[in-house]
Structure 1
Amino acid sequence: MSRRSAAVAAVLSTALAAGLITVASTSTASAAEVRVHDVQGGTRLSPLAGEQVKDVPGTVTGVRSYGARGFWIQDTAPDDDPATSEGVFVHTGSTDPTVKAGDTVRVSGTVTEYVPGGAESGNQSVTQITKPTVTVESSGGAVPKPQRIDADAVPSAYTPKGDAADGGSVNKLALEPEAYALDFYESLEGMNVSVGDSRVVGATDPYHELWVTVKPDENRSKRGGTVYGSYEAQNTGRLQIQSLAPVAEEPFPKADVGDVLSGTTEGPLDFNQFGGYTLAARTLGTLTNKDLAREKTRAQGADELAVATYNVENLDPKDPQEKFDALAQAVVTNLASPDVLALEEIQDDNGATDDGTVSAEETLKKFTAAIAKAGGPAYEWRSIEPEDKKDGGEPGGNIRQVFLFNPERVAFKDRPGGDATTATDVVRTEGRAALTHSPGRIDPGAAAWENSRKPLAGEFTFRGRTVFVIANHFGSKGGDESLVSHHQPPNRSSEKQRHAQAASVNAFVKKALKAQQNADVVVLGDINDFEFSDTTKALTDGGALTAAVKSLPRAERYSYVYQGNSQVLDQILTSPGIGDFAYDSVHINAEFAQQNSDHDPQVLRFKP
């Protein structure tokens, strides 16, 4: 010790003895010190929201230099309350963070609750520290040991019911991480977490995200996904995975459903607008490819009529020829060239260009030519051109449903007069049901179809038997709250329109059955709702229709994958007169990173 140090020490010793100063211990926090768990609190909302905090200590566990820039810190001296997270996001605004994982820091700033997607989205909020001042105390240390997320850790119950006194919100409820999955994930918000070998249940998307399940036996599909079978079975093991490394520096794996993210994936647990709880990976596991094959349905027999539906995702002539060729090859090879194919999302001849064009002749010529080149039939088509900007969908695209049919197998009964605003009807003629307009639209002026695709009805003949086909594209789920909404159960506001649409189609089918009790009616398309939904119940009301997808085992009922849930959106429904049928959901898109559409086509075969 230098003489100067000795002198200072002597002065300090005298002052301490006299009680003139006190020294805080360096091993424990002072009473006034705010820790991360104080910021997070025991509910979804910080008790310190809106307040300034000073010198919150933590170790950096991850850094994000794109999107919502910032970094996560975690307290290495946790409290004994499992409900209070020890991690928090520090938002640096438009400034790239200068810290690195392993830095020990102290952060001062304002505590805020940020709702990804905005308050109207219904999403839960992210607790964060904004406008930060950061002091780096040391660098190069180890990050805190990750909390392992696995089947044993995640509760089987998904969420508590929201507080009726708070508008159905769970925001102010005390977290119960040992009872509910959403509470468990919230109790880890911002903390360093990890998953081990995990099966992919949602393929890599264009935004470099994928979904895994940490519960390999939870409602497993035949092909490796996780089936969404009811509003009360949300599948608690699903977790979204992103990478903190920019794609240019570390390419994100292109995973299909059924592949395995092997080894350890580790990083902070984030919450974002499009997936809820997300592991923002600092360390990404290795993809083990399981080579999932695209399905092929069998060909129909000579006396079987094959009717299919396929949402071709905003197809227009500006799309690359490769998309037309791939869709065409799927029609021929995977769908075995169905006799009647109802298409959804056929756009007008210049796609999203908003100039009043409504014709889709060029789109359909290009598509049918590609099918013929792929070895398929010389399909003819029938449709009704919509009014400009009246049917929803991508602005300027004027999407509509279209019938393709193989004239060597079926005939189309043309009955003139149908247009965008004229409703077709069902009449009894010579003891049989018949459409007044074919093709024609069902009730196009009704409020149920405002800013939505109107059903397209057509009259076909197969081996002397009349078959009525109604192609649909019901209103989307846009505006609905997600499964991780702070409202529990979430608000599904879009259902109201689909319920009215289903009632409209059901009434039309009942009219056809009244005109001819044993009429063969096929209702199909992108229903945008589940087989267990009230929309489907409204379609099948009174026994007018049967949802054919329910003939499949539960593990095979899906046509779409959303946030790791394999679910039904596309359906084919049959009238009682059809009797026995064979149904196939042909999985060629939804489970794959490389998609020609985001929907899987559906095929029904029966003997009229």
Structure 2
Amino acid sequence: MVGHTTAPNKYDFDAPFSEDTNIAIADSPTERDPAKIMPVKVKTEFRGKFGLHNNPNIVGKQVYITGELGEYFSVPAIKGISSIWFADEAPPVEEEPVEGKVVTISQIQGETHKSPYKDKLVKDVEGVVTYVADNNNFYMQSTTPDSNTNTSEGILVYKSGGHGQSVGNKVKVSGTVKEWVITGNKVGIDLPVTEINASSVSVVEQGVALPEPVKLDPPTSVIDNDSFSTFDPQQDGIDYYETVEGMLVSMDSPVVVGPQKYGEVPVVTKKVEDKTYTTEGGVLLTEETANPERIQLDLFDNNFKAKVGDQFNGTVTGVLTYDFSNFKVFANKSSLPELTERAYTKPISTLSGDEDSLTIASYNIENYSKREKDKTAKIAEQITKHLKSPDILGLVEMQDNDGATNSGTTDASQNYQALIDAIKVAGGPAYEWTDIAPANNEDGGQPGGNIRVGFLYIRIAFNLLKEKKEQPQKRLILKTARLH
């Protein structure tokens, strides 16, 4: 060991050292050429003995390291070390998982995305029930955690035929450890969740106090930058969330960054100083950040209303899990703090046409059908009041007359007329419409819906040329364009 890495190709060779997070190694204790020195990232559990801030006298000693080659400080380095020892010591003996052995939840989880006990039998794994997902699934968490923050203390338990457990039950579980993709059609796409496929669940005690939730503090830039080659929770968001999989977690006043869908509300665990957000408070995907602090809050309420920029006024707690390509927190809606709504006024266009100009707008009406009367009135009001009745309006996702009914029809005249009539009621002009209807079930959207792009236009502003419409699957080439 020759010193401490401070920046790419820069090293501190003399005490005092500022951190315990890394060491620098070389073939000779007197080496000073950066090209011949390699950084080593030191995991938390090894820093007490091998961190230079607290142990400056170990510089110059020879060490053996087991780990993985990767990149650290933008140079080749050793990361993900599994063992390290001084040359004058006996190497540590790594214990292989023993099938049928009594182990802890953290031992089952390990410092990895896949359990070292995968497909092995374990017995009498102890924990307190923290969340009941359904009759067959519950989450439990250790009441005697270890000191390693890189291993989760929570786990999913599956018991076929029903488990009969309640939150607060301290239980012992025996069964087979599995890596389970919760949504079946996402196998090969989603991350698996570590679970015990239980053969037996016995209650040790009831009414046990639950562990204190762990405050979520994920990285805020990188989701994964090493294709899972190194387990690096301090840098990779995907690795960080693995360290709290199945555990009770908390977020202080999380901010909503998207609308509720399927009962899930996307939030950020924290706002980051100097990070750029949208005007409303949403996150931006940029070259510099993939926003791993964004997570789903699962409330199991499809009617829950929240918009970007709203904020929960207090601490939100729940159990962290993974499903449908997202980390999420199962939260009890009844225990949520108050949601403070962000003040919002819908924007109103400042554009208006005159004898020398036209106003043109587009609007995605999202699988529109005349059957949705409330939606029809809302769209008409927005066109009239907020878009200021543009001269030409492109409509995206207009369905056919009978909506998602797969009848073979593609005509949408009744839908256009329903929307035109509603615009008149809202105080707007008398629009006309045109489109090229798609071939049946060829253009995507809901089966039978036959969505297409169409246009509303005001005849007083211009006339549509009376020329033959082309067929829906024919490639169109615009040669001339005239407005009358």
Q: TM-score, normalised by structure 2?
A: 0.73
Counting matched residue pairs gives 379
Q: CA deviation at 1:197?
A: 1.1
2:249 corresponds to which letter in structure 1?
V
Deviations 1:317-365 (A, max 9, x none): 3x22111111111111121111211111111111111121111111111
- 1:125 and 1:262 map into 2 onto residues whose CA distance is 33
User: What's 1:161 paired with?
Assistant: 225
The answer as to 2:281 corresponding to 1:214 is no
1:311 corresponds to which letter in structure 2?
N
Q: 1:421 to 1:99 in 2, by over 3 A?
A: closer
Q: Paired residue for 2:253, among 172, 197, 200?
A: 197
Q: Contact between 1:175 and 1:187, CA under 8 Å: does it hold in 2?
A: no
- 2:431 and 2:160 map into 1 onto residues whose CA distance is 55
Q: 1:267 to 1:422 in 2, by over 3 A?
A: closer
User: What's 1:305 paired with?
Assistant: 358
1:176 corresponds to which letter in structure 2?
D
User: What's 2:320 paired with?
Assistant: 269
User: What's 1:49 paired with?
Assistant: 118
The answer as to 2:394 corresponding to 1:337 is no
Q: Paired residue for 1:139, among 202, 206, 209?
A: 206
Q: Paired residue for 1:278, among 328, 331, 336?
A: 328
User: What's 2:280 paired with?
Assistant: 223
- 2:424 and 2:270 map into 1 onto residues whose CA distance is 45
Q: CA deviation at 1:410?
A: 3.0
Q: Contact between 1:73 and 1:190, CA under 8 Å: does it hold in 2?
A: yes
Q: Contact between 2:224 and 2:237, CA under 8 Å: does it hold in 1?
A: no
Structure 2: which 5+ runs fail to align? 1-99
Q: Paired residue for 1:314, among 356, 367, 371?
A: 367
Q: Contact between 1:258 and 1:292, CA under 8 Å: does it hold in 2?
A: no
Q: 1:208 to 1:332 in 2, by over 3 A?
A: same
Q: CA deviation at 1:294?
A: 2.3
The answer as to 2:167 corresponding to 1:105 is no
- 1:60 and 1:311 map into 2 onto residues whose CA distance is 46
2:372 corresponds to which letter in structure 1?
P
Q: Contact between 2:123 and 2:174, CA under 8 Å: does it hold in 1?
A: yes
Q: CA deviation at 1:134?
A: 1.0
- 1:133 and 1:32 map into 2 onto residues whose CA distance is 15
User: What's 2:180 paired with?
Assistant: 114
Q: Paired residue for 1:83, among 133, 143, 150?
A: 150
The runs of at least 4 aligned residues of structure 1 exceeding 4 Å deviation read: none
Instruction: Write out aligned runs for 1:385-534 (5 A).
Output: 385-427=437-479, 434=480, 459=481, 461=483
Greater relative CO, 1 or 2 (CA 8 Å, sep 6+): 1
Structure 1: which 5+ runs fail to align? 1-30, 164-169, 428-433, 435-458, 465-608
The answer as to 2:238 corresponding to 1:185 is no
The answer as to 2:436 corresponding to 1:384 is yes
- 2:304 and 2:441 map into 1 onto residues whose CA distance is 39
Q: Contact between 2:102 and 2:125, CA under 8 Å: does it hold in 1?
A: yes
User: What's 1:237 paired with?
Assistant: 293
Q: CA deviation at 1:199?
A: 1.4
Secondary structure of the equivalent of 1:412? coil
Q: Contact between 2:400 and 2:410, CA under 8 Å: does it hold in 1?
A: yes
The answer as to 2:410 corresponding to 1:353 is no
- 1:32 and 1:384 map into 2 onto residues whose CA distance is 68
Q: CA deviation at 1:93?
A: 4.8
Deviations 1:133-158 (A, max 9, x none): 21111111211111101xxx221332
- 1:345 and 1:388 map into 2 onto residues whose CA distance is 14
Q: CA deviation at 1:79?
A: 2.6
User: What's 2:103 paired with?
Assistant: 34
1:271 corresponds to which letter in structure 2?
Y
Secondary structure of the equivalent of 2:126? strand
User: What's 1:58 paired with?
Assistant: 127
Q: Contact between 1:56 and 1:107, CA under 8 Å: does it hold in 2?
A: yes
2:116 corresponds to which letter in structure 1?
P
The structure whose residues are more often helix, as a share, is: 1
Q: 1:186 to 1:414 in 2, by over 3 A?
A: farther
Q: 1:209 to 1:178 in 2, by over 3 A?
A: same
- 1:362 and 1:379 map into 2 onto residues whose CA distance is 14
1:214 corresponds to which letter in structure 2?
T
1:277 corresponds to which letter in structure 2?
F
Q: Contact between 1:257 and 1:292, CA under 8 Å: does it hold in 2?
A: no
Q: Contact between 1:63 and 1:99, CA under 8 Å: does it hold in 2?
A: yes
- 2:188 and 2:399 map into 1 onto residues whose CA distance is 29
Secondary structure of the equivalent of 1:158? coil
Q: 1:203 to 1:178 in 2, by over 3 A?
A: same
- 1:72 and 1:83 map into 2 onto residues whose CA distance is 19
Deviations 1:367-392 (A, max 9, x none): 11111211112111111111111112
Secondary structure of the equivalent of 1:411? coil
- 2:366 and 2:295 map into 1 onto residues whose CA distance is 26
Secondary structure of the equivalent of 2:343? coil
Q: CA deviation at 1:252?
A: 7.1
Q: CA deviation at 1:260?
A: 1.1
Secondary structure of the equivalent of 2:159? strand
Identity %: 33
Q: Contact between 1:253 and 1:287, CA under 8 Å: does it hold in 2?
A: no
- 1:409 and 1:374 map into 2 onto residues whose CA distance is 20
Q: Contact between 1:60 and 1:101, CA under 8 Å: does it hold in 2?
A: yes
Secondary structure of the equivalent of 2:417? helix
Q: Paired residue for 2:194, among 127, 132, 146?
A: 127
Q: CA deviation at 1:242?
A: 1.7
Q: Contact between 2:142 and 2:153, CA under 8 Å: does it hold in 1?
A: yes
Secondary structure of the equivalent of 2:257? strand
Secondary structure of the equivalent of 1:270? strand
Q: Contact between 2:173 and 2:198, CA under 8 Å: does it hold in 1?
A: no
- 2:186 and 2:309 map into 1 onto residues whose CA distance is 35
Q: CA deviation at 1:161?
A: 3.0
Q: CA deviation at 1:424?
A: 2.5
1:314 corresponds to which letter in structure 2?
N
Q: CA deviation at 1:305?
A: 2.6
Q: Contact between 1:177 and 1:184, CA under 8 Å: does it hold in 2?
A: yes
Calculate the aligned-residue CA RMSD, in Å.
2.3
User: What's 1:19 paired with?
Assistant: none
Q: TM-score, normalised by structure 1?
A: 0.59
User: What's 2:309 paired with?
Assistant: 258
Q: Contact between 1:219 and 1:228, CA under 8 Å: does it hold in 2?
A: no
Q: CA deviation at 1:219?
A: 2.8
